[in-house]
Every structure is written in C-alpha cells, then in structure tokens.
C-alpha cells in the first residue's frame, strides 16, 4: 500500500526508488474576519511512479484544497499553510520561491480541474491554450506550439484535431472539453498528474472514455496519478490505493481491494453502504445520517462521532477511547491498513 512519508526519507534527497511525491502533515486553513476554517488537518501520503492513489470523500472533506496546496494555487490570503511539507524530487515545494514553484507546475506536477468549461478561457482557441504550455515553459514560437497542440489533441483522441485546433471551448462537448484539459495537463509529460473530479457532469459512457484515456496515458508515461473523487465506481475501476478523507483528515488508507471489501472506519463503511446494489432488487439505500461538520467548528474527539452508529461515549467507552473526547490517530490496524478509529478492530471483526 501507499507508504507513510516518514518511512521513505529518500524522498527528501530525490534518491533511489523513492516516491515521487510526499505530502507530510499538511494543514490548510482559511482565515476570515469571523472565524478560521480548518480545511485540511494534518494529512500525509506518498505517490510513486505508475501508482494511482484515489482520495475519496464527501464534498467539503478537504480533497480539492489539499491538491490546490500541492499546486501552489491557493489564494493567500485568506488561505494559509501553517504546517506541513510537500516533497517533490528532493525539494520541499512550500519553501521554494514563487518562480521556482511555477517551474515545477507543468513539467513536474500538473492538474486537471473538475469544471473544464470554467477552467478554459472562452476568448482563446483551445489550440492557443494548449500551446501556452510550450510557449511559457519551452520558449517555442506560436507556430511550433500550435503544431504540438494538434499532436496533443490527437493523442487525447479529439477527432479532426488539425481542423478543430482553432475552435473555442464552447464549440466542444463536455467530454471533448475534458480531453482538452487533459491535453493541457500532460503537455509537458508531468511525473505527477492530479485529476480533480475529472468525470464530473459527464454521462457514464463519456466518464468511462475519460478514465480509459487517463489509464492509457499513465501506462505510456509511467506518471503517478492522484485521483480526487467521490465516485466509488471510478475508484474501484482504476485506483491501486485509496485514502478516505473526512473533515480535513485521512481516516482510512489501504489498497482499494482491502478498503472496499472490509472497510475499517465507520465512515468508509457508510460510504460503501450508500452505493446502490444492482443485484438486490427493491433494496433501500443506507445513507449516512446527519451532515459533514462545519470546518470552523469541528467536533472534539473523532470528527465523525456525531454521525457514527458505533460511537462509544462516557462510561461505555474504553479508557482513552471516548469517541467524543479522545481524537483517534491514524494508526495501523491490520497489516497494510490504517484507520483513525478507536474501534476499527471491531469494525473489521478482528
């Protein structure tokens, strides 16, 4: 499974077969006049070459914010990163000057955003926007950049690329716009690709085509892929490992097969139970009760305890394991599986 950053110190010197990307104890908060929103609260993970790590969770769990912190595109203020390290090829990105961070984005780490229409500039052709990567990072002329743009559009299977290179975003379907975004993201052959909800608002057939395209590109280049999603079906199809986030924390981590077959955290268990089972005719969904917490007022103890049917409070809790008073750390529960629950062994039945 994905190793903890602390077990791979060679990430810091860029040596050997170390993971390409290591996020260590990352915190992100948004400071307003009224309060502090604790969006990301101490997450750690690594990504290796050719690996697909899925980050799973409800909206508001901190998935996209953590990705934006890696890319260095958070608006500061109000966003701040009070603690944490992001290691890429032996360098902590959070300590690099802005110009050095910009050089990493594109050739090193690239990102596909979830809403292609709002992410693309409506007044420039798609060819111009794809070619911008080559003009900005490699100093190519407009003519050379346009040639590369056509090649990339062919690579992501946009029909009649040479004829469509001068078209504008609104002239493409949602699935084709997403392919344009993918072309921009892979233009400089990044070593890490972050895909933030890449199939949002697409129909099932187009979703499958987009994910197949990403898998093919990953096989061709060996890039590591961080897939941010709340779509369990997509995760099950493409990911190697999964990190489940809740209230800005990773609450479970392991291989996709292990986590999906026997979830160790009640929140993960709730996510699995909320998926329709096509084999059970007339069955009822089992939604997770309640709402995700307000990130400016995260509950004490386990953040999930107000919604958890397995919670133990007061006298019924074991010493030091009161779900409302004692915050559980992310810990090894069984070999290859970590969970932030005081009673994960009981959830697993071990």
Q: What is the pLDDT of residue 163?
A: 94
Q: What is the pLDDT of residue 6?
A: 37
Q: What is the pLDDT of residue 3?
A: 46
Q: What is the pLDDT of residue 154?
A: 92
In sequence order, what DSSP letters do the residues of 32-44 get, joined into one string? -SS-EEEEEEEEE
Count of beta carbons in the 10 Å neighbourhood of residue 247: 24
Closest CA to 5 of 120, 103, 92, 117: 92
DSSP lists the bridge partners of residue 22 as 46, 87
Q: What is the pLDDT of residue 113?
A: 85
d(CA 1, CA 124): 43
Q: What is the pLDDT of residue 131?
A: 92
Q: What is the pLDDT of residue 323?
A: 95
Domain with CATH 3.40.50.300 in the chain: 1-103+194-199+220-277+285-292+332-350
d(CA 16, CA 279): 47
CA atoms within 13 A on the CB side of 220: 11
Q: What is the pLDDT of residue 274?
A: 81
pTM of the model: 0.88
What would the two tokens of residue 145 be? Answer: 């950049």
d(CA 147, CA 337): 47
Q: What is the pLDDT of residue 206?
A: 83
CATH topology of domain 1-103+194-199+220-277+285-292+332-350: Rossmann fold (3.40.50)
Q: What is the pLDDT along the chain (350 residues), one digit of tens a residue?
A: 444 433 333 444 444 457 899 999 999 999 988 899 999 999 999 999 999 999 999 888 999 999 999 998 998 889 999 999 999 988 999 999 888 888 888 889 999 987 777 889 999 999 999 999 899 888 899 999 999 999 999 989 899 999 999 999 999 998 899 899 989 988 888 999 999 988 877 778 888 888 888 898 899 889 999 999 888 888 988 899 999 999 999 999 999 999 999 999 999 999 998 877 666 676 677 888 889 999 999 999 999 999 998 999 988 989 999 999 999 999 999 999 999 999 998 878 77
Residues 6+ apart with CB under 8 A from 93: 70, 72, 86, 87, 101, 104
């Amino acid at each position: 499974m994905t190793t903890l950053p602390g077990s791979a110190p060679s990430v810091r010197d860029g040596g050997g077969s170390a993971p390409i990307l290591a996020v260590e104890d990352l915190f992100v908060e948004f400071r307003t006049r009224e309060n502090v929103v604790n969006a990301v609260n101490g997450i750690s993970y690594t990504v290796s070459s050719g690996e697909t790590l899925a980050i799973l969770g409800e909206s508001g769990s901190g998935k996209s914010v953590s990705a934006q912190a890696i890319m260095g595109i958070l608006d500061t203020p109000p966003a701040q990163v009070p603690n944490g390290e992001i290691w890429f090829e032996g360098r902590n990105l959070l300590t690099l000057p802005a110009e050095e961070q910009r050089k990493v984005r594109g050739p090193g780490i690239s990102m596909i955003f979830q809403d292609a229409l709002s992410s693309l500039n409506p007044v420039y052709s798609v060819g111009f926007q794809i070619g911008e990567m080559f003009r900005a990072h490699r100093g190519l002329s407009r003519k050379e950049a346009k040639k590369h743009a056509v090649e990339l559009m062919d690579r992501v299977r946009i029909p009649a690329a040479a004829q469509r290179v001068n078209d504008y975003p609104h002239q493409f379907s949602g699935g084709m716009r997403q392919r344009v975004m993918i072309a921009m993201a892979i233009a400089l052959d990044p070593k890490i690709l972050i895909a933030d909800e890449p199939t949002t608002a697409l129909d099932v057939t187009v979703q499958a085509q987009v994910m197949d395209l990403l898998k093919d590109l990953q096989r061709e280049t060996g890039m590591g892929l961080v897939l941010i999603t709340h779509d369990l079906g997509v995760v099950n199809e493409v990911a190697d490992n999964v990190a489940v986030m809740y209230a800005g924390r990773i609450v479970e981590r392991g291989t996709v097969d292990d986590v999906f077959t026997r979830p160790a955290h009640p929140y993960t268990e709730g996510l699995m139970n909320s998926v329709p089972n096509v084999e059970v005719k007339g069955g009822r969904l089992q939604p997770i009760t309640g709402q995700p917490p307000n990130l400016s007022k995260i509950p004490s103890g386990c953040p999930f305890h107000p919604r958890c049917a397995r919670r133990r409070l007061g006298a019924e809790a074991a010493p030091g394991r009161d779900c409302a008073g004692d915050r559980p750390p992310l810990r090894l529960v069984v070999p290859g599986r970590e969970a932030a629950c005081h009673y994960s062994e009981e959830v697993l039945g071990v």
